[in-house]
Amino acid sequence: MTDTLPITERTRLRRGHKRGDFNRETINAILDAMPMCHIGYVLDGSPQVMPTFQWREGNHVYWHASSAGRGIGAAGNQDVCMTVSLLDGLVLARSAMHHSANFRSVMIFGKPTKITDPDEKAQKLGNLIDALYPGRNALLRPMTAQENKATAVLSLPIEEASAKIRSGGPVDDDEDYSLPIWAGVVPVKMQLLPVEADPRNLDGVEIPDHIQDIKIG
């Protein structure tokens, strides 16, 4: 049975609604493909947007930030909006109006919960490391109490969310197809480049195998 999220006034797509997708599997796939997210909230009456890393565990998404940041207190006491997006292509049409982009995006609404238990927080931050670099957390030194205290972790249920996806070529006005103007798609892909080793690595320390398992996009 398909797990489809209910449509709310905040998640209802009013433009390009045919590109909307409320299937949990689709939403999860986009979240898992792109760790970079943006958190929108209100601070002192003004809109704020905070970029950070997110990771998903089941039907919850988590993110971290500095405990000293002003936004952590604000975000933990109000509804927030998290967005995640990937650019898949530049779409060139025969008119400026119909230029577009191929993309995958997710928007999540809800009130986050701050993780306060130090042991749970340490576990979640370890999960973040493994979400980005599979298997790396077990190789690292343990987190110190001060590092734990300095880092905030928040959780948001994936219950009020939607995905929006565009793919394919340009859609021009019928009369424009007779114009001698090139149109098409320039595919865009995020690529991991060769690693750059820290010059202070100890002699004999090799590049770990899990570097090959990093996947973004």
- pLDDT of the residue at 103: 98
- DSSP characters over 153-170: EEEEETTEEEEEEE-SS-
Whole domain around residue 45: which residue ranges? 17-86+103-167
Question: Which one is predicted more confidently, 26 or 67?
Answer: 26
Q: What is the mean pLDDT of the chain?
A: 94
- The pLDDT assigned to 2 comes to 62
In a domain, 40, yes or no: yes
Q: What's the rounded Cα separation, in Å, for the pair 174 and 178? A: 8
- Answer yes or no: is 215 within a domain: no
Residue 161 inside a domain? The answer is yes
CB 113 within 8 A of CB 166: no
- Band of residue 7 on the pLDDT scale cut at 50, 70, 90: very high
pLDDT at 77: 77
Provide the percentage of residues in the chain whose pLDDT is more than 70.
Answer: 96
Q: Which amino acid is at 163?
A: A
| Rounded Cα distance, 159 and 109, in Å | 8
Identify the pLDDT of residue 76.
65
The reply to whether the predicted model has a pTM over 0.85 is yes
Token pair for 16:
């390009």
If you average pLDDT over residues 149-164, what whole number do you get? Answer: 96
Distances (CA, A) of 64 to 53, 118, 154: 7, 14, 6
175 assigned to some structural domain: no
What pLDDT was estimated at residue 1? Answer: 44
Helices (H), 76-178: 118-132, 145-150
Give the span between the Cα atoms of 144 and 58, in whole angstroms: 27
List helix spans (H) across the chain. 24-33, 70-75, 118-132, 145-150
| Percent of the chain whose pLDDT exceeds 90 | 85
Does 64 fall in a domain?
Answer: yes
Q: Confirm whether 151 is domain-assigned.
A: yes
The count of structural domains within the chain is 1
pLDDT at residue 73, rounded to an integer: 64
| Residue 179 placed within a domain | no
The whole-angstrom separation of Cα 56 and Cα 157 is 10
Separation between Cα atoms, residue 91 and residue 69, nearest integer Å: 39
For residue 75, the domain's CATH number is 2.30.110.10
The type of residue at 52 is T
pLDDT value of position 13: 87
Q: Which residue has the tokens 């089941």?
A: 58
pLDDT in tens, 32-87: 999 999 999 999 899 999 999 999 999 999 999 888 877 766 666 789 999 999 99
pLDDT for 15 equals: 79
| pLDDT at 198 (0 to 100) | 96
